[in-house]
Amino acid sequence: MEWLAQIVRESGARVVRFNFLYRAQGRGMPDRMPTLIGTYEAVIDSVRKHLEVERLIIGGHSMGGRVASMLLAQSHAADGLLLFGYPLHPPGQPEKLRDAHLAAIEVPTLQLNGTEDEFCTRSIMEKIALPKQWTPHWIEGADHSYSVRKTTGRTRPQVAEEIRETLTDWVSRKS
């Protein structure tokens, strides 16, 4: 996560990171979704109370992004959504889609997934009914953690630069 947070910072945004309660308590199994969403809401409340924010974009990597997306499907808690490695389905189980709430999201959304992401198959994602303000960006050869095999000819710094450029462009168009 620090790698992605640094990329977001380099694009000109401030970043607030937090741990969900189960992580803070040292448990391996995530809490149920209502608790995860409640934690995210508490963080948003704290950010709005203690930091001067003109626009608030929330998101996260994998489960953190999924929680943020579920929160924004039921409320207008933020002005945008940034999804790193959205987990559309469990690995090897493309029939178990996590998409029912996505059409209800009303804020601009940037989804960054790798074309080799075992949690999000591009061909399936392209069939999902998504809101008009949803912007998918596929990183060629990258997996769920944005690693690329040497055979792709790409390096991690090149992937970071692609993410940074995509994010900077998206944020500038939403300003």
Residues 71-81 have a mean pLDDT of 96
pLDDT-derived band at 105 (thresholds 50, 70, 90) equals: very high
Is the confidence at residue 59, as pLDDT, over 90?
yes
H or E segment to which residue 7 belongs? helix 2-10
Residues 12-39 have a mean pLDDT of 94
In angstroms, the Cα distances linking 75 to 67, 106, 137 are: 12, 9, 25
d(CA 117, CA 139): 10
| pLDDT score for 172 | 85
Is the confidence at residue 73, as pLDDT, over 70?
yes
| pLDDT score for 175 | 62
Is the confidence at residue 173, as pLDDT, over 90?
no
Domain ranges, residue 81: 2-174
Number of domain units in the chain = 1
Q: What tens digit of pLDDT does each residue of 87-102 get?
A: 999 999 999 999 999 9
| pLDDT score for 106 | 96
Is the confidence at residue 65, as pLDDT, over 90?
yes
Domain of 32, CATH number, reads 3.40.50.1820
In sequence order, what DSSP letters do the residues of 151-169 get, joined into one string?
Answer: GGT--HHHHHHHHHHHHHH
- Percent of the chain clearing pLDDT 70 (strictly above): 99
